[in-house]
Amino acid sequence: MITSLAGIQGVILTIVSGRTIQSLLRFFGDFDKEAINWSGVHGAQIKYAGEGILIPASVKKIVPVIEELKKKIFPVIRNVPCYILEDKGFSFSIHYRKCKGGDLAYLTEIESILRENIEGRPAEVMMMKKVIELKPQGINKGKAIRYIGIKYGNETPSTNICIGDDLTDEYMFESNDTGINIKVGEDRYPDSNAGYYLKNVSEVHQFLEAIYNALKK
C-alpha cells in the first residue's frame, strides 16, 4: 500500500524513523525505494526520492562525541545482557525493555555518564519508553519533515498527514501544526500534539487504503 500511494500523482510520501536509512531500506525490501523519501536517525539522514543519502555537516561533527560516549557506556552494560546498545553511527540507543529488578539500577549510572559528558557539546539525551538515545543536538523528526517541505515547497495546495506511535513523533506532530496528525496506540495520550487516533497498525492500513482508493479515482 505504501508503494501504491507513492505512485499516485501529487502524493509525496516520506518514512521518518529513528533507525538508519540503511536499515530501513533493508527492512522495506519489497518497496519501490526510489519512489519514497526517507529520513533516518530522527532526521540526521535524509534521502529524497531517487537521490542519495544526505548528512548535514553539523551531524558529521558529532561522530567523535558519539564514539567517546559509547566507550564510556559500554563497560557499564557489557555484562548485563538485558541492556542492548544500538549503534547508528550518528547516534546510539540503549534499550532496556527486558531489564527488571536490580538490573534497572544501572540506569542511574548510564544517565549520569551521558549528562556529564554532553555539557557544552552538540549532543542531547532523549528519554523514551525503555530506551535512552544520544543524538545530535537539535535534530528531530519535526525538522525532518520541514526538510521535505522545503524540497517540495512548490507542491501546493497540499495537506500534510503525519502518522506515528512513538514519543519522538511528537516533534513531527508539533511541526505539522497546520496539517493532520494521527497518534497510533490504544492509549489516547491526552498531552499528545495529535488531533486524531488509530488503535493499531491494522487500522493504519485501513486508513491508508481508504486514502488510496479516494485518490486513485
pLDDT tens profile 82-137? 999 999 888 999 999 999 999 999 999 999 999 889 888 888 898 888 999 999 88
pLDDT at 85: 93
Ordered by start, the domain boundaries in the chain are 2-56+139-215, 63-136
What's the CATH number of domain 63-136, 3.40.50.300, 3.10.580.10, 3.30.70.1020, 3.90.1150.10?
A: 3.30.70.1020
The answer on pLDDT for 207 being more than 70 is yes
Chain centre distance of CA 153? 22
Please name the residue that has the C-alpha cell 519522538.
Answer: 168
Alpha helices in 28-153 (DSSP H): 57-60, 63-77, 106-118, 141-151
In this structure, the strands spanning 180-184 and 131-136 are unpaired
CA distance 62 to 202: 38
pLDDT at 29: 81
If DSSP codes are grouped into helix, strand and coil, which group holds residue 99? coil
Query: Count of CB atoms within 10 A of residue 136's CB?
Result: 24
pLDDT at 156: 65
CATH assignment of 2-56+139-215? 3.40.50.1000
Which DSSP helix (H) or strand (E) runs through 136?
strand 131-136
Q: 2-56+139-215 and 63-136: same fold? A: no
The answer on pLDDT for 155 being more than 70 is no
CA dist 161 → 26, 82, 139, 181, 204 (Å): 25, 36, 21, 6, 12
The answer on pLDDT for 154 being more than 70 is no
The tens digit of pLDDT for each residue in 10-44 reads 899 999 999 999 999 999 887 888 899 999 999 99
CA distance 25 to 27: 6
